[in-house]
Amino acid sequence: MKKYIIFNWKCNPETLVKAKQLFKSTTKVSFKDFEAVICPPFPYIGQLKAMGFKLKIGAQNCFYEPRVGPFTGEVSPMILKNMGCKYVILGHSERKRVFNETEETINKKLKAVLSVGVQPILFFGELVLMTKIGAEKEIIRQLEAILRGIDKKFLTRILFVYEPAFSVSTQGGKLLSSEEVEEKQIFIKKHLNNKFNFKPVVLYGGSVEGNNIKNYLKETNINGVVIGQASINLKKLERVVKALSWLRYL
């Protein structure tokens, strides 16, 4: 199975010129053995899509109504699909922290995205450092709330992303070792398999950059990574590109 590389640009960069520069720099890697997805801010999606590279384009958020309507300021999953977006990020910890997004809201967005055929990149993870047992209980609580009412036939379409908020570079960036992440992925996969009888795809996000990406991708149970800050800084992106170029998957 191909491993996923998701580039989350967050609210960056400030100009289309810089966005195109980042996009071109990212395409220096041959992603033949990866499923690579770039998630830029909404205004850049169409422009980057028109550049013609083979990288998939995703969005960073959407509204919880699947289709168009009187929802000023929102972007529906159907609009994203018609723009060529194959993926959309849901439930990122920054959405929870800054916009007070709840599991109930994420659940509604998840249902909307699945209903139009866009593939969700679903984030979850503990918000603060916890004991092993505490973290596992919190992960189960979040997953059960977010997946409530989701038809089991849709679960295989979801890309699950374990990203504890304390590991995000903008929120302290406490780095988890690849072994620690591997242990969590095994727990998450076992829980989802026991609960819903399917084999989930689970990625990791949290301060992933050029000097550690190889460690994460070499672990069997880590099905890919999400790269945040390191995907929007040209020097850091160059290190990521170099690291990916040397991986045995290419």
Give mean pLDDT, residues 110-136: 94
**What's the start-to-end Cα distance of the chain, in Å?**
13
pLDDT tens digit sequence for 26-38: 987 767 778 999 9
Q: For the chain, what are the domain ranges?
A: 3-246
Listed residue (75, 93, 29) closest to 231, CA to CA: 29
Distance CA 111, CA 120 (A): 10
92 labelled catalytic: yes
Does this model's pTM top 0.85? My answer is yes
Do residues 213 and 226 touch, judged by C-beta distance below 8 A? no
162 touches 140 (CB < 8 A): no
Give the mean model confidence (pLDDT) for residues 83-94: 96
CA distance 157 to 21: 31
Reply yes or no on whether the pLDDT at 109 is more than 60: yes
pLDDT for position 245: 80
Catalytic residue among 35, 103, 126, 163: 163
Q: What is the pLDDT of residues 53-64, one digit of tens each?
A: 888 999 999 999
Candidate list 35, 92, 94, 103, residue with the active-site label: 92
Query: pLDDT, tens digit, for every residue of 216-242?
Result: 999 999 999 999 999 999 999 999 988
Question: Residue 185: is its pLDDT beyond 70?
Answer: yes
Return the CATH number of 3-246, one of 3.20.20.70, 3.40.50.20, 3.50.50.60, 3.90.550.10: 3.20.20.70
Q: Is 209 tagged catalytic?
A: no
